[in-house]
């Protein structure tokens, strides 16, 4: 193990960073100093180019996928949605401080935890969050399930616009409900829209809730105020509840904008609950800490009572980590956004110039790219046995390029031919992965 104090010093570049580690300045001052030093709007405060070694940490993305695919090596695991970067040094510092006390009982969140959630959303998105309505959750999906259980009856239909995040297909039956799938419409410019007529049809048939993922995993779409307003109006007309999963909201590429569902108008605010977490933004997924809020604190109390959500107390290290992230991590997040924007453009340029069998246009939000590999699938021919087209491509890219991607079919019935590629890695690794994919495709 390397010395973490030294590591942090190396990770945060420049005078401001060194001063932060020694405690001589607070982060806002260090950030202000660093800001504007770099190109592309990056502060260069954090060395995101460092190819941090995750092997042996026990995570699914690296160790899990490599174990599953032996004897093949998978040097480019680009599946599971977490990041290959160290978290923000303030997070590590806060966790280390708590470790100094070796007693681990039931605990309350840090005193300024709620204030920092409110401040983060206000400062970055001008979103006003009612602090009284904020409830903790041991993960976004746990909260989504609790809210769905509160607003639906067993057997109700829940609308999911697909392709959409694969775990929603499990959350809906977990809430004792049934899936009502509505295909998204692919626009000519590569963005997506909802099929409002189809959504209305499903609502007329009795669907009682809609899950919106914003920005959307896996398409990377950021929904506009107009689109979210139309969904809100439809929900209002048919008395349906909207679950707005905005866990990816901190990742928005430069040409795009994240609009919080609940901030669009009072109708949307009234008929929804929003779910967020610092877990994607600061790579804290296994810390099991998320939060949810809505316009009406009484509704959130109902969720606690009716879905037994009060059992979802809190995770000691998760709340400490998330609190430090929101309190001190604005600069880290700005840097990360610019870095992810560049990755999207690296991929776009590579597909346009070197890997024409893969079609991709820089997406809007999340760090996930939804790449059209239908030409590759065609070249590969028929899947084996029970494989889907996506399984076949996953096997091909693992075995021939050492790259793991997620099959498009995991995200809904229109996913065939697509693969989801996690871009949350270093530029250098991304380049090597793309070169390996290109060479594998050439040799089909």
Q: Are 351 and 360 in contact (CB under 8 A)?
A: yes
215 near ligand PLP (CB under 6 A)? no
DSSP structure class, residue 364? S
Q: Would you say how long the chain is, in residues?
A: 444
Q: Which of 20, 46, 62, 165 binds ligand PLP (CB under 6 A)?
A: 165
In the complex, residue closest to ligand PLP by CB: 139
285 near ligand PLP (CB under 6 A)? yes
- How far apart CA 141 and CA 18 sit, in angstroms, is 38
Q: Which of 48, 134, 213, 340 binds ligand PLP (CB under 6 A)?
A: 213
Peptide bond preceding 71: is omega within 30 degrees of 0, i.e. cis?
yes
DSSP structure class, residue 235? H
Q: Which of 21, 25, 94, 141 binds ligand PLP (CB under 6 A)?
A: 141
In the numeric block, which tokens belong to residue 223?
């929904």
217 near ligand PLP (CB under 6 A)? yes
Residue 32 backbone phi and psi in degrees, to 5: -60, -40
Scanning 137-145, 198-206, 301-309, 408-416 for contacts with ligand PLP by CB under 6 A, the matching segment is: 137-145
For ligand PLP, give the closer residue by CB, 30 or 262: 262
Scanning 113-121, 138-146, 191-199, 306-314 for contacts with ligand PLP by CB under 6 A, the matching segment is: 138-146
In the region spanning residues 43 to 62, those forming contacts with ligand PLP, defined by CB under 6 A, are none
Scanning 70-78, 98-106, 139-147, 228-236 for contacts with ligand PLP by CB under 6 A, the matching segment is: 139-147
Scanning 135-143, 342-350, 356-364, 385-393 for contacts with ligand PLP by CB under 6 A, the matching segment is: 135-143
Smallest distance from ligand PLP to CB 81, Å: 4
Smallest distance from ligand PLP to CB 5, Å: 30
In the region spanning residues 232 to 271, those forming contacts with ligand PLP, defined by CB under 6 A, are 245, 247
Q: Which of 43, 145, 150, 277 binds ligand PLP (CB under 6 A)?
A: 277
Tokens 């042996």 belong to residue: 56
Smallest distance from ligand PLP to CB 314, Å: 13
DSSP lists the bridge partners of residue 157 as 178
Burial (CB count within 10 angstroms: exposed 0-12, middle 13-18, buried 19+), residue 56: exposed
3-class SS of residue 270:
helix
Site string for ligand PLP, 80-119 (x = CB under 6 A): -x--------------------------------------
DSSP 166-230: TTHHHHHHHTT-EEEEEEPEEPTTS-EE--HHHHHHHHHTT--EEEEESSPTTT-PPPPHHHHHH
139 near ligand PLP (CB under 6 A)? yes
Smallest distance from ligand PLP to CB 141, Å: 4
279 near ligand PLP (CB under 6 A)? yes
Smallest distance from ligand PLP to CB 140, Å: 4
Task: Look at strands 135-137 and 290-294 and give their pairing.
Answer: antiparallel
Site string for ligand PLP, 287-306 (x = CB under 6 A): ---x----------------
For ligand PLP, give the closer residue by CB, 129 or 351: 129
Smallest distance from ligand PLP to CB 213, Å: 5
For ligand PLP, give the closer residue by CB, 67 or 170: 170
Smallest distance from ligand PLP to CB 148, Å: 13
Smallest distance from ligand PLP to CB 245, Å: 5
Smallest distance from ligand PLP to CB 271, Å: 20
- How far apart CA 391 and CA 384 sit, in angstroms, is 9
Where in 300-402 does DSSP place strands (E)? 368-372
Scanning 112-120, 234-242, 277-285, 327-335 for contacts with ligand PLP by CB under 6 A, the matching segment is: 277-285
117 alpha-carbon distance from chain centroid: 17
In the numeric block, which tokens belong to residue 249?
């909201």
CA-closest candidate to residue 390, choices 355, 417, 366, 358: 417
Q: Are 329 and 238 in contact (CB under 8 A)?
A: no
- How far apart CA 75 and CA 435 sit, in angstroms, is 13
Peptide bond preceding 218: is omega within 30 degrees of 0, i.e. cis?
yes
- How far apart CA 274 and CA 241 sit, in angstroms, is 11
Tokens 């070694």 belong to residue: 53
212 near ligand PLP (CB under 6 A)? no
- How far apart CA 406 and CA 369 sit, in angstroms, is 10
184 near ligand PLP (CB under 6 A)? no
How many residues make contact with ligand PLP (CB under 6 A)?
A: 13
Interacting residues with ligand PLP (CB under 6 A): 81, 139-141, 165, 213, 217, 245, 247, 277, 279, 285, 290
């Amino acid at each position: 193990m390397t010395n973490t104090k030294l590591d942090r010093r190396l990770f945060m570049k420049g005078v401001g960073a060194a001063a932060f580690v020694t405690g001589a300045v607070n982060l806002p001052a260090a950030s202000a100093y660093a800001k504007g030093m770099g190109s592309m709007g990056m502060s260069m405060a954090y060395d995101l180019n460092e190819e941090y070694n995750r092997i042996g940490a026990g995570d699914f993305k690296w160790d899990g996928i490599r174990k599953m695919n032996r004897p093949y090596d998978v040097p480019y695991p680009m599946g599971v949605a977490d990041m290959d970067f160290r978290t923000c040094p303030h997070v590590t510092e806060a966790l280390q401080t708590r470790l100094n006390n070796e007693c681990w009982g039931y605990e309350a969140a840090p005193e300024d935890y709620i204030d920092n959630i409110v401040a983060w959303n206000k400062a970055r998105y001008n979103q006003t969050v009612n602090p009284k309505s904020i409830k903790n959750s041991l993960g976004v999906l746990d909260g989504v399930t609790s809210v769905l259980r509160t607003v639906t009856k067993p057997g109700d239909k829940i609308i999911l616009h697909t392709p959409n995040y694969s775990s929603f297909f499990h959350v809906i039956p977990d809430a004792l409900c049934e899936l009502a799938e509505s295909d998204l419409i692919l626009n000519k410019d590569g963005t997506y829209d909802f099929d409002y007529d189809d959504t209305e049809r499903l609502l007329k048939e009795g669907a009682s809730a809609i899950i919106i993922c914003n920005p959307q995993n896996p398409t990377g779409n950021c929904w506009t105020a107009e689109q979210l307003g139309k969904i809100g109006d439809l929900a209002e007309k048919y008395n349906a509840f909207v679950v707005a999963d905005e866990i990816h909201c901190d990742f928005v590429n430069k040409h795009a904008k994240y609009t919080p569902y609940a901030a669009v108008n009072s109708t949307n605010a009234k008929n929804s609950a929003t779910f967020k977490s610092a877990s994607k933004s600061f790579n804290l997924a296994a810390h099991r800490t998320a939060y949810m809020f809505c316009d009406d604190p009484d509704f959130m109390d109902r969720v606690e009572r009716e879905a037994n959500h009060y059992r979802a107390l809190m995770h000691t290290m998760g709340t400490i980590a998330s609190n430090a992230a929101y309190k001190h991590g604005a600069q880290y997040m700005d840097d990360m956004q610019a870095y992810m924007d560049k990755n999207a453009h690296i991929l776009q340029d590579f597909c346009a110039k070197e890997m024409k069998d893969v079609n991709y246009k820089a997406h809007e939000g999340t760090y996930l790219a939804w790449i059209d590999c239908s030409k590759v699938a065609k070249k590969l021919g028929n899947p084996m046995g029970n494989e889907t087209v996506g399984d076949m491509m996953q096997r091909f890219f693992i075995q021939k390029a050492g790259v793991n991607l997620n099959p498009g079919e995991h995200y809904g019935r229109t996913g065939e031919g697509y693969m989801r590629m996690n871009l949350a890695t270093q530029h250098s690794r991304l380049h090597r992965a793309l070169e390996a994919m290109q060479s594998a495709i050439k040799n089909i």
